[in-house]
Amino acid sequence: MQSYVFKVKPIGPKYHIGYIKKPMGSVQYENGVYFLSTFSSAHLSSSFTGDYVASSRCFIGAPVASSSSLSLLYGKKNSYPLRKFHVSAKKVSGLEEAIRIKRMREAEASSKVKRNPPLRRGRVSPRLLVPDHIPRPPYAESGLAARVLNSAGTLVKPSVTTNEIDKAVHDMIVEAGAYPSPLGYGGFPKSVCTSVNECMCHGIPDSRQLQWGYNYIDVTVYLDGYHGDTSRTFFCGEVDEGFKRLVKVTEECLEKGIAVCKDGANFKKIGKRISEHAEKYGYNVVERFVGHGVGPVFHSEPLIYHYRNDEPGHMVEGQTFTIGLLLFHLMMDTICVCRTDSDNWTTLTADGGVAAQFEHTILITRTGSEILTIC
């Protein structure tokens, strides 16, 4: 089957390429120019969702307008604003088309990650005690939260239970004269969140032994009247390259989100920068969970959206908040939806896929920002 490759150049810096099979409409060649006509439902793929080529005659070098007045696609009105394009085309041989399809399928296959058996809950041990002389929460010395998280990460090995990790975290925090912020917060029964494999966040430590995969650990400590909140994804045993890449890109997204933080910057820049980097690798941001203000209160304003948004507000010197994003790989035939377990805390991916998360507490300064949860 003969194909034509149409190169769409919006009025801007990037090219977007779409493929249209010849039988979908007529392609004419006149005086060195390819013409498109009678494309009743065909459209060129573009990063601008909803921008479709009109069914009228279009040709190389001529601007093509895309707006709500141009077309109805599959019965849905295109409500996106007017954009102008220049369209060019070249003839593609059958071999070139076959190679393109093969490469596309290989890329899809390499991006898939190994699936584990469904997650099974273990037995939750009794709640641990905190000495009475330690103040209860109504930002902790940030180095403590980071040290506790690093120490917890060394325990992530096959056969270790998340209960053991919780006990080690609890003891280290209490020995430092601090309170484990999650303990009792909204009824949460443990001192740390341990989220395994398809568990996205808020996993409750229990008797289940770790096996192949990953463990996302979320540590928050309360010391001297302030909370410090940080988290990281740790590998457990051997993991496949697809998941390693997801974790690497998630951490990079956090770094890029932090890089835009400074006094006077708009909060929405964080989500824009994170989304841009994630989408380059075919990943999506979990929109259900957001960053938050942190200080004397565990969770407060401002809310930090890790995806593109138009929320108002800007950063102010002295402000502290978390950036804690979750990324997942959206398969072509899957819609990622979170589901919450019967304990009302444990949140899992509905399709059993994996996700990765990183989080830091940030202090806004006059010239930029300072990461408080590192040591």
Binding-site positions for a divalent metal cation read 218, 229, 292, 359
Strand, helix or coil for residue 35: strand
- Own/partner contacts of 34-40, CB < 8 Å, gap of 24 or more, are 34/4, 34/59, 34/60, 34/89, 35/59, 36/6, 36/87, 36/89
Q: Are 87 and 18 spatial neighbours (Cβ–Cβ below 8 Å)?
A: no
Alpha-carbon distance of 237 to 267, in angstroms, equals: 37
Orientation angle between helical segments 268-280 and 241-259, nearest 10 degrees:
150
Pick out the residues of the known binding site for substrate: 202, 299
Q: How many CB atoms lie within 10 A of CB 188?
A: 19
Residue numbers belonging to the annotated binding site: 202, 218, 229, 292, 299, 359
* Look-up of token digits 């992530």: 156
Residue with tokens 């010197």: 317
The helix-helix angle for 162-175 and 142-153 (nearest 10°) equals 150
Q: Are 336 and 286 in contact (CB under 8 A)?
A: yes
How far, in Å, CA of 94 to CA of 115, rounded? 36
Tokens of 266: 């708009």
